[in-house]
Amino acid sequence: MTQFLDVRTLLVMVAVIATLSAIGMASFGRRYPRFSGVAWFAVADLFLAIGMLLVATRDYAPDWLTTVVANVFSLGGLLLNAEGLRRYAGGDWPWWSRPYFLFLLLLPVTAWFTYVDPDVRIRVLAFTGCVGFTLCAIAVALHRSPAGPRLRLVQLAFGGFALWMAGRWLFTLTNAPMPSFMDAGSVHAMTILGYVVFVMTKNYGILRDSVGQALGEIEAQAHTDALTGLLNRRGLAEFAAPAIARARRQGSPFSVAILDIDHFKRINDAHGHAAGDAVLAGIAGILRSRLRASDACARLGGEEFVLLLPDTNEAQALHVADVLRERVASVEFLGVGRCTVSFGVSTRRDDADLADMLRAADRAMYAAKAAGRNLVVQA
Protein backbone atom coordinates (compact mmCIF):
# COMPACT_ATOMS: atom_id res chain seq x y z
CA MET A 1 0.00 0.00 0.00
CA THR A 2 2.92 2.33 0.75
CA GLN A 3 3.79 2.61 -2.92
CA PHE A 4 0.46 4.33 -3.49
CA LEU A 5 0.96 6.66 -0.51
CA ASP A 6 4.21 8.43 -1.20
CA VAL A 7 4.85 10.61 1.84
CA ARG A 8 6.49 13.48 -0.01
CA THR A 9 3.64 13.65 -2.53
CA LEU A 10 1.05 13.60 0.25
CA LEU A 11 2.85 16.39 2.09
CA VAL A 12 2.78 18.58 -1.01
CA MET A 13 -0.91 17.74 -1.51
CA VAL A 14 -1.71 18.80 2.07
CA ALA A 15 0.25 22.02 1.55
CA VAL A 16 -1.67 22.84 -1.62
CA ILE A 17 -5.08 22.08 -0.11
CA ALA A 18 -4.29 23.98 3.11
CA THR A 19 -3.12 26.98 1.04
CA LEU A 20 -6.31 26.98 -1.00
CA SER A 21 -8.32 26.69 2.23
CA ALA A 22 -6.38 29.62 3.70
CA ILE A 23 -7.16 31.74 0.63
CA GLY A 24 -10.84 30.76 0.79
CA MET A 25 -11.17 31.50 4.51
CA ALA A 26 -9.30 34.79 4.14
CA SER A 27 -11.63 35.85 1.32
CA PHE A 28 -14.68 34.86 3.36
CA GLY A 29 -13.41 36.71 6.42
CA ARG A 30 -12.68 39.83 4.39
CA ARG A 31 -16.10 39.73 2.73
CA TYR A 32 -17.95 39.05 6.00
CA PRO A 33 -15.93 40.63 8.84
CA ARG A 34 -18.84 40.18 11.25
CA PHE A 35 -17.80 36.53 11.64
CA SER A 36 -15.01 37.08 14.10
CA GLY A 37 -12.11 34.64 14.07
CA VAL A 38 -12.32 33.54 10.43
CA ALA A 39 -9.05 35.32 9.61
CA TRP A 40 -7.34 33.20 12.26
CA PHE A 41 -8.49 30.03 10.49
CA ALA A 42 -6.89 31.35 7.31
CA VAL A 43 -3.58 32.00 9.07
CA ALA A 44 -3.80 28.60 10.77
CA ASP A 45 -4.18 26.81 7.44
CA LEU A 46 -1.35 28.85 5.93
CA PHE A 47 0.96 27.89 8.81
CA LEU A 48 0.02 24.24 8.33
CA ALA A 49 0.72 24.50 4.60
CA ILE A 50 4.16 26.00 5.24
CA GLY A 51 4.97 23.31 7.80
CA MET A 52 3.96 20.48 5.48
CA LEU A 53 5.84 21.98 2.54
CA LEU A 54 8.99 22.31 4.63
CA VAL A 55 8.77 18.67 5.70
CA ALA A 56 8.36 17.71 2.04
CA THR A 57 11.78 19.28 1.30
CA ARG A 58 13.54 16.98 3.77
CA ASP A 59 16.79 15.57 2.35
CA TYR A 60 16.94 18.60 0.03
CA ALA A 61 17.15 21.37 2.63
CA PRO A 62 18.84 21.79 6.05
CA ASP A 63 17.48 19.71 8.95
CA TRP A 64 16.82 22.80 11.10
CA LEU A 65 14.43 24.02 8.41
CA THR A 66 12.73 20.74 7.49
CA THR A 67 12.43 19.44 11.05
CA VAL A 68 12.58 22.13 13.75
CA VAL A 69 11.00 25.03 11.86
CA ALA A 70 8.59 22.71 10.03
CA ASN A 71 7.28 21.31 13.32
CA VAL A 72 6.86 24.81 14.72
CA PHE A 73 4.75 25.86 11.76
CA SER A 74 2.72 22.63 11.74
CA LEU A 75 1.89 22.71 15.46
CA GLY A 76 1.42 26.49 15.36
CA GLY A 77 -1.13 26.08 12.60
CA LEU A 78 -3.23 23.82 14.79
CA LEU A 79 -2.88 26.11 17.80
CA LEU A 80 -4.05 29.13 15.82
CA ASN A 81 -7.33 27.30 15.22
CA ALA A 82 -7.95 27.61 18.96
CA GLU A 83 -7.59 31.38 18.71
CA GLY A 84 -9.99 31.47 15.78
CA LEU A 85 -12.57 29.29 17.49
CA ARG A 86 -12.35 31.28 20.72
CA ARG A 87 -13.27 34.43 18.81
CA TYR A 88 -15.78 32.75 16.51
CA ALA A 89 -17.63 30.65 19.09
CA GLY A 90 -17.42 33.04 22.02
CA GLY A 91 -17.59 32.06 25.67
CA ASP A 92 -14.88 31.79 28.29
CA TRP A 93 -12.19 29.44 26.96
CA PRO A 94 -9.77 27.98 29.54
CA TRP A 95 -6.04 28.57 29.28
CA TRP A 96 -5.31 24.94 28.44
CA SER A 97 -7.38 25.20 25.25
CA ARG A 98 -4.47 27.15 23.73
CA PRO A 99 -1.48 25.07 24.87
CA TYR A 100 1.37 27.18 23.53
CA PHE A 101 3.46 25.75 26.34
CA LEU A 102 3.85 22.62 24.20
CA PHE A 103 6.50 24.46 22.21
CA LEU A 104 8.66 24.33 25.35
CA LEU A 105 8.57 20.55 25.03
CA LEU A 106 8.57 20.10 21.27
CA LEU A 107 11.43 22.44 20.37
CA PRO A 108 14.17 21.02 22.64
CA VAL A 109 13.10 17.41 21.98
CA THR A 110 13.10 17.97 18.22
CA ALA A 111 16.47 19.75 18.30
CA TRP A 112 18.10 17.11 20.56
CA PHE A 113 16.89 14.13 18.54
CA THR A 114 17.83 15.84 15.28
CA TYR A 115 21.41 16.92 16.08
CA VAL A 116 22.61 15.27 19.32
CA ASP A 117 21.00 11.84 19.20
CA PRO A 118 19.17 11.52 15.87
CA ASP A 119 16.02 9.45 16.26
CA VAL A 120 13.09 9.81 13.86
CA ARG A 121 10.75 7.75 16.02
CA ILE A 122 11.14 9.91 19.12
CA ARG A 123 10.63 13.04 17.05
CA VAL A 124 7.42 11.56 15.65
CA LEU A 125 6.28 10.57 19.17
CA ALA A 126 6.92 14.07 20.50
CA PHE A 127 5.21 15.81 17.60
CA THR A 128 2.26 13.40 17.56
CA GLY A 129 1.75 13.77 21.31
CA CYS A 130 1.75 17.57 21.10
CA VAL A 131 -0.63 17.57 18.15
CA GLY A 132 -2.96 15.05 19.77
CA PHE A 133 -3.12 17.04 23.01
CA THR A 134 -3.79 20.27 21.08
CA LEU A 135 -6.60 18.71 19.04
CA CYS A 136 -8.18 17.13 22.13
CA ALA A 137 -7.97 20.36 24.15
CA ILE A 138 -9.64 22.34 21.38
CA ALA A 139 -12.39 19.73 20.97
CA VAL A 140 -13.16 19.72 24.71
CA ALA A 141 -13.12 23.53 24.97
CA LEU A 142 -15.40 23.82 21.95
CA HIS A 143 -17.79 21.29 23.50
CA ARG A 144 -18.00 23.49 26.59
CA SER A 145 -18.55 26.63 24.53
CA PRO A 146 -22.06 28.13 24.09
CA ALA A 147 -21.64 27.56 20.35
CA GLY A 148 -20.74 23.90 20.83
CA PRO A 149 -24.13 22.50 19.71
CA ARG A 150 -23.89 24.50 16.48
CA LEU A 151 -20.36 23.35 15.75
CA ARG A 152 -20.66 19.58 16.20
CA LEU A 153 -18.97 18.92 12.88
CA VAL A 154 -15.99 21.06 13.88
CA GLN A 155 -15.82 19.20 17.19
CA LEU A 156 -15.84 15.93 15.25
CA ALA A 157 -12.96 17.13 13.07
CA PHE A 158 -10.78 17.95 16.10
CA GLY A 159 -11.89 15.04 18.27
CA GLY A 160 -11.66 12.47 15.48
CA PHE A 161 -8.20 13.58 14.42
CA ALA A 162 -7.09 13.58 18.07
CA LEU A 163 -8.14 9.92 18.35
CA TRP A 164 -6.23 9.09 15.19
CA MET A 165 -3.14 10.81 16.60
CA ALA A 166 -3.46 8.76 19.78
CA GLY A 167 -3.52 5.60 17.68
CA ARG A 168 -0.54 6.78 15.67
CA TRP A 169 1.39 7.51 18.87
CA LEU A 170 0.78 3.98 20.17
CA PHE A 171 1.65 2.47 16.80
CA THR A 172 4.91 4.43 16.66
CA LEU A 173 5.78 3.48 20.24
CA THR A 174 5.33 -0.25 19.70
CA ASN A 175 7.02 -0.57 16.32
CA ALA A 176 10.60 -0.63 15.16
CA PRO A 177 12.57 2.61 14.72
CA MET A 178 12.21 4.45 11.42
CA PRO A 179 15.33 5.07 9.35
CA SER A 180 13.65 7.97 7.54
CA PHE A 181 10.30 9.71 7.83
CA MET A 182 9.91 9.55 4.05
CA ASP A 183 9.81 5.75 4.39
CA ALA A 184 7.81 5.66 7.60
CA GLY A 185 5.06 3.38 6.35
CA SER A 186 1.36 3.47 5.52
CA VAL A 187 0.11 4.55 9.00
CA HIS A 188 2.15 7.73 8.90
CA ALA A 189 1.24 8.30 5.27
CA MET A 190 -2.46 7.93 6.18
CA THR A 191 -1.89 10.46 8.98
CA ILE A 192 -0.72 13.02 6.45
CA LEU A 193 -3.79 12.23 4.35
CA GLY A 194 -5.82 12.76 7.52
CA TYR A 195 -4.73 16.40 7.55
CA VAL A 196 -6.63 16.87 4.29
CA VAL A 197 -9.81 15.44 5.83
CA PHE A 198 -9.29 17.51 8.98
CA VAL A 199 -8.80 20.84 7.19
CA MET A 200 -11.72 20.33 4.82
CA THR A 201 -14.10 19.11 7.55
CA LYS A 202 -13.15 21.89 9.95
CA ASN A 203 -13.58 24.66 7.40
CA TYR A 204 -16.77 23.18 6.01
CA GLY A 205 -18.19 23.14 9.55
CA ILE A 206 -17.25 26.78 10.09
CA LEU A 207 -18.67 27.91 6.76
CA ARG A 208 -21.86 25.88 7.22
CA ASP A 209 -22.42 27.48 10.61
CA SER A 210 -21.71 30.97 9.24
CA VAL A 211 -24.18 30.51 6.40
CA GLY A 212 -26.72 29.10 8.85
CA GLN A 213 -26.37 32.14 11.09
CA ALA A 214 -26.74 34.50 8.12
CA LEU A 215 -29.83 32.70 6.83
CA GLY A 216 -31.32 32.69 10.32
CA GLU A 217 -30.83 36.45 10.58
CA ILE A 218 -32.38 36.99 7.15
CA GLU A 219 -35.35 34.85 8.18
CA ALA A 220 -35.70 36.81 11.42
CA GLN A 221 -35.50 40.12 9.58
CA ALA A 222 -38.30 38.99 7.26
CA HIS A 223 -40.56 38.55 10.29
CA THR A 224 -39.27 41.27 12.60
CA ASP A 225 -39.59 45.04 12.79
CA ALA A 226 -36.07 46.45 12.69
CA LEU A 227 -36.68 49.32 15.14
CA THR A 228 -38.57 47.58 17.92
CA GLY A 229 -37.63 43.94 17.52
CA LEU A 230 -41.33 43.01 17.52
CA LEU A 231 -43.05 41.02 14.80
CA ASN A 232 -43.91 42.83 11.60
CA ARG A 233 -47.08 42.22 9.56
CA ARG A 234 -45.70 39.08 7.98
CA GLY A 235 -44.60 37.66 11.31
CA LEU A 236 -47.96 38.56 12.80
CA ALA A 237 -49.85 36.71 10.08
CA GLU A 238 -47.68 33.60 10.42
CA PHE A 239 -48.16 33.54 14.20
CA ALA A 240 -51.90 34.20 14.00
CA ALA A 241 -52.90 31.55 11.46
CA PRO A 242 -52.11 28.44 13.55
CA ALA A 243 -53.09 30.16 16.82
CA ILE A 244 -56.58 31.05 15.56
CA ALA A 245 -57.00 27.61 13.97
CA ARG A 246 -56.16 26.03 17.33
CA ALA A 247 -58.65 28.28 19.12
CA ARG A 248 -61.35 27.18 16.68
CA ARG A 249 -60.62 23.48 17.18
CA GLN A 250 -60.52 23.76 20.95
CA GLY A 251 -63.32 26.30 21.29
CA SER A 252 -61.02 28.53 23.34
CA PRO A 253 -61.19 32.34 23.43
CA PHE A 254 -58.81 34.48 21.39
CA SER A 255 -58.44 38.23 21.74
CA VAL A 256 -56.70 41.01 19.84
CA ALA A 257 -55.70 44.43 21.13
CA ILE A 258 -54.55 47.38 19.03
CA LEU A 259 -52.86 50.35 20.65
CA ASP A 260 -51.80 53.67 19.22
CA ILE A 261 -49.50 56.23 20.83
CA ASP A 262 -51.45 59.40 21.60
CA HIS A 263 -50.25 62.60 19.89
CA PHE A 264 -47.21 60.84 18.47
CA LYS A 265 -46.82 63.43 15.71
CA ARG A 266 -46.31 66.09 18.38
CA ILE A 267 -43.46 64.05 19.83
CA ASN A 268 -41.71 63.88 16.46
CA ASP A 269 -42.33 67.56 15.74
CA ALA A 270 -41.20 68.77 19.17
CA HIS A 271 -38.31 66.41 19.90
CA GLY A 272 -37.27 64.93 16.56
CA HIS A 273 -37.63 61.55 14.96
CA ALA A 274 -34.81 60.05 17.01
CA ALA A 275 -36.78 60.78 20.19
CA GLY A 276 -39.87 59.35 18.54
CA ASP A 277 -38.00 56.17 17.67
CA ALA A 278 -36.81 55.90 21.28
CA VAL A 279 -40.41 56.14 22.48
CA LEU A 280 -41.47 53.41 20.03
CA ALA A 281 -38.65 51.15 21.19
CA GLY A 282 -39.41 51.87 24.84
CA ILE A 283 -43.10 51.05 24.51
CA ALA A 284 -42.21 47.90 22.58
CA GLY A 285 -40.02 46.86 25.52
CA ILE A 286 -42.89 47.46 27.96
CA LEU A 287 -45.26 45.37 25.86
CA ARG A 288 -42.75 42.55 25.47
CA SER A 289 -41.94 42.40 29.16
CA ARG A 290 -45.58 42.19 30.28
CA LEU A 291 -46.84 39.51 27.90
CA ARG A 292 -46.87 35.73 28.25
CA ALA A 293 -44.70 33.42 26.19
CA SER A 294 -47.81 32.27 24.32
CA ASP A 295 -48.76 35.84 23.32
CA ALA A 296 -47.41 37.82 20.39
CA CYS A 297 -46.80 41.50 19.83
CA ALA A 298 -46.28 43.23 16.50
CA ARG A 299 -45.76 46.70 15.14
CA LEU A 300 -48.27 47.36 12.39
CA GLY A 301 -46.48 50.49 11.24
CA GLY A 302 -45.99 54.04 12.46
CA GLU A 303 -47.03 54.28 16.10
CA GLU A 304 -49.55 51.43 16.00
CA PHE A 305 -49.04 48.07 17.73
CA VAL A 306 -51.13 44.91 18.00
CA LEU A 307 -51.27 42.20 20.65
CA LEU A 308 -52.43 38.64 19.96
CA LEU A 309 -53.73 37.00 23.13
CA PRO A 310 -54.59 33.29 22.79
CA ASP A 311 -56.76 31.69 25.52
CA THR A 312 -57.85 35.15 26.63
CA ASN A 313 -61.50 36.17 27.00
CA GLU A 314 -62.96 39.70 26.89
CA ALA A 315 -62.53 40.46 30.58
CA GLN A 316 -58.96 39.16 30.64
CA ALA A 317 -58.03 41.06 27.48
CA LEU A 318 -59.45 44.31 28.91
CA HIS A 319 -57.42 43.75 32.08
CA VAL A 320 -54.19 43.08 30.13
CA ALA A 321 -54.74 46.22 28.03
CA ASP A 322 -55.49 48.37 31.05
CA VAL A 323 -52.39 47.16 32.91
CA LEU A 324 -50.24 47.97 29.87
CA ARG A 325 -51.92 51.36 29.42
CA GLU A 326 -51.14 52.29 33.04
CA ARG A 327 -47.60 51.01 32.73
CA VAL A 328 -46.89 53.13 29.64
CA ALA A 329 -48.43 56.20 31.27
CA SER A 330 -46.17 55.80 34.32
CA VAL A 331 -42.88 55.82 32.40
CA GLU A 332 -40.77 58.94 31.88
CA PHE A 333 -39.21 58.71 28.42
CA LEU A 334 -35.83 60.41 28.22
CA GLY A 335 -36.08 63.84 26.67
CA VAL A 336 -39.80 63.44 26.01
CA GLY A 337 -41.53 62.88 29.34
CA ARG A 338 -44.69 60.84 29.79
CA CYS A 339 -46.72 59.40 26.93
CA THR A 340 -50.08 57.69 26.78
CA VAL A 341 -51.65 55.08 24.53
CA SER A 342 -55.19 54.26 23.48
CA PHE A 343 -56.37 50.64 23.23
CA GLY A 344 -59.04 48.88 21.23
CA VAL A 345 -59.79 45.27 22.21
CA SER A 346 -61.62 42.61 20.22
CA THR A 347 -62.41 38.97 21.10
CA ARG A 348 -63.09 36.30 18.48
CA ARG A 349 -66.71 35.45 17.86
CA ASP A 350 -68.12 32.71 15.64
CA ASP A 351 -65.78 32.16 12.66
CA ALA A 352 -64.14 35.57 12.68
CA ASP A 353 -60.62 35.59 11.25
CA LEU A 354 -57.67 37.82 12.08
CA ALA A 355 -58.73 40.55 9.63
CA ASP A 356 -62.20 40.71 11.21
CA MET A 357 -60.77 41.02 14.72
CA LEU A 358 -58.23 43.64 13.66
CA ARG A 359 -60.93 45.77 12.04
CA ALA A 360 -63.09 45.54 15.16
CA ALA A 361 -60.17 46.38 17.45
CA ASP A 362 -59.15 49.26 15.20
CA ARG A 363 -62.63 50.77 15.39
CA ALA A 364 -62.57 50.41 19.17
CA MET A 365 -59.16 52.07 19.34
CA TYR A 366 -60.44 55.09 17.37
CA ALA A 367 -63.41 55.20 19.74
CA ALA A 368 -60.93 55.43 22.64
CA LYS A 369 -59.20 58.30 20.84
CA ALA A 370 -62.51 60.10 20.33
CA ALA A 371 -63.43 59.60 23.98
CA GLY A 372 -60.36 61.46 25.22
CA ARG A 373 -57.38 59.08 24.69
CA ASN A 374 -55.47 57.08 27.29
CA LEU A 375 -58.41 54.66 27.40
CA VAL A 376 -59.26 51.02 26.70
CA VAL A 377 -62.41 50.36 24.67
CA GLN A 378 -63.93 46.94 23.97
CA ALA A 379 -65.24 46.32 20.45
Mean pLDDT, the chain, as a whole number? 91
Confidence of residue 4 (pLDDT cuts 50, 70, 90): low
In this structure, are residues 325 and 376 in contact, taking their beta carbons and an 8 Å threshold? yes
pLDDT at 1 over 70: no
Q: Using CA atoms, how far apart are residues 278 and 162, in angstroms rounded to an integer? A: 52
Position 197 scores a pLDDT of 95
| pTM recorded for the entire structure | 0.73
Identify the CA nearest to 89 among candidates 220, 215, 205, 196: 205
Q: Is pLDDT at 3 greater than 70 in this prediction?
A: no
The secondary element (H helix, E strand) that includes residue 177 is none
Distance CA 19, CA 45 (A): 6
Over the stretch 165-198, which tens digit does the pLDDT of each residue have? 999 999 999 987 888 888 778 888 899 999 999 9
Instruction: Report whether 374 contacts 342 (CB < 8 A).
Output: yes
> 104 falls in which pLDDT band (50, 70, 90)?
very high
- At 5, is the pLDDT very low, low, confident or very high (cuts 50, 70, 90)? confident
Query: Of 206, 189, 322, 207, nearest to 259 (Cα)?
Result: 322
**Is pLDDT above 50 for 2?**
no
Alpha helices (H) along the chain: 7-31, 38-56, 63, 70-89, 102-111, 120-144, 152-174, 186-223, 233-250, 264-271, 273-290, 314-329, 354-370
pLDDT digit string, tens, across residues 315-336: 999 999 999 999 999 999 988 8
* pLDDT, average across residues 351-367: 90
Mean pLDDT, rounded, for 208-232: 88
- Which residues are annotated as catalytic? 303
Q: Given a cut of 50, is residue 68 above it in pLDDT?
A: yes
Q: Is the pLDDT of residue 351 over 80?
A: no
Q: Write the DSSP assignment of 323-365 as a string of letters.
A: HHHHHHHT-EETTTEE--EEEEEEE--TT--HHHHHHHHHHHH
Find, among 136, 216, 214, 119, the residue nearest to 172 by Cα.
Answer: 119
pLDDT of residue 88: 94
- Percentage of the chain lying above the pLDDT 70 cut: 99
Least confident of 179-188, 271-280, 284-293: 179-188
Q: Which of 283, 220, 216, 294 is nearest to 252 (CA)?
A: 294
